[in-house]
Every structure is written in structure tokens, then in C-alpha cells.
Amino acid sequence: MSRALSRLTTDEKLQEAFSPFGQIVDAKVVIDRASGRSKGFGFITYTSIEEAEQARQGMNAKFLDGWVIFVDPAKPREPRPPPQAQPNPSETGFRTNKTIGWCG
């Protein structure tokens, strides 16, 4: 439920900061798989919408780990478009590939 988090904010700090507003089911800072660092946003799940709304009102534009955070309700994920079909092999049996790489 929150975004614009400090890279130092952990799941535990997020839960601690938002726990006064109700019973938290889950508090997760989103981590980049490649770097292992926070992406700067997270999600908090409460047991009720009323608690989540209290947290939004109580924590929006407040400081957490030295950063002003903004709290918005989570939106459903947009469905990803289906992968495009591979082009048919040419008469030579090769497929075209639009990937370009560099060696250096």
C-alpha cells in the first residue's frame, strides 16, 4: 500500500510503522531480483479495508527512514499481452531474430 520508500526500509520497518493502524496480514518491500535492492515501494495488507484506509490517512506524506512516503491503495495488475507467435521459418530453415548484441 505504500510507495516511494527509502532503500533502507525493510519488511520489518514497514510493518512496525504501519502496525498502529490495524492488524497487518503482510508487509513486503519489493526487491529487484537482479540487484537484490529495494525497488523503493512495498505493499501492506490489513485484515480490513477500514484499517487500510486509516493507515492511508495516517501515514500519507509522513517520514519513514528519512523519506516522505506516499500511500495509495494498490491497483490490480494489468494483464500482460500474450507473447507474439514466432514467425514461420523461411525457405532456408532459419528464423529471423530481432535481437542485436555487441561483443567488446
Strand partners, 24: 46
Kindly give, in sequence order, each residue whose CB lies less than 8 Å from that of residue 17, ignoring residues fewer than 6 positions away.
59, 64
Quick check: is 50 in a domain? yes
pLDDT digits 0-9 by tens, 20-42: 999 999 999 999 999 999 999 99
Residue 51's domain is classified under what CATH number?
3.30.70.330
Quick check: is 15 in a domain? yes
Quick check: is 34 in a domain? yes
- How many structural domains are present in the chain? 1
24-31 β-sheet, strand order: 24-31, 38-46, 2-3, 70-71
Quick check: is 86 in a domain? no
Quick check: is 36 in a domain? yes
Q: Are 32 and 26 in contact (CB under 8 A)?
A: no
**Cell 514497514 sits at which residue?**
14
Quick check: is 31 in a domain? yes
Least confident of 4-13, 46-55, 75-84, 86-95: 86-95
Residue 103 is classified by DSSP as: -
Quick check: is 53 in a domain? yes
- Domain of residue 38 covers 2-67
pTM: 0.69
Quick check: is 56 in a domain? yes
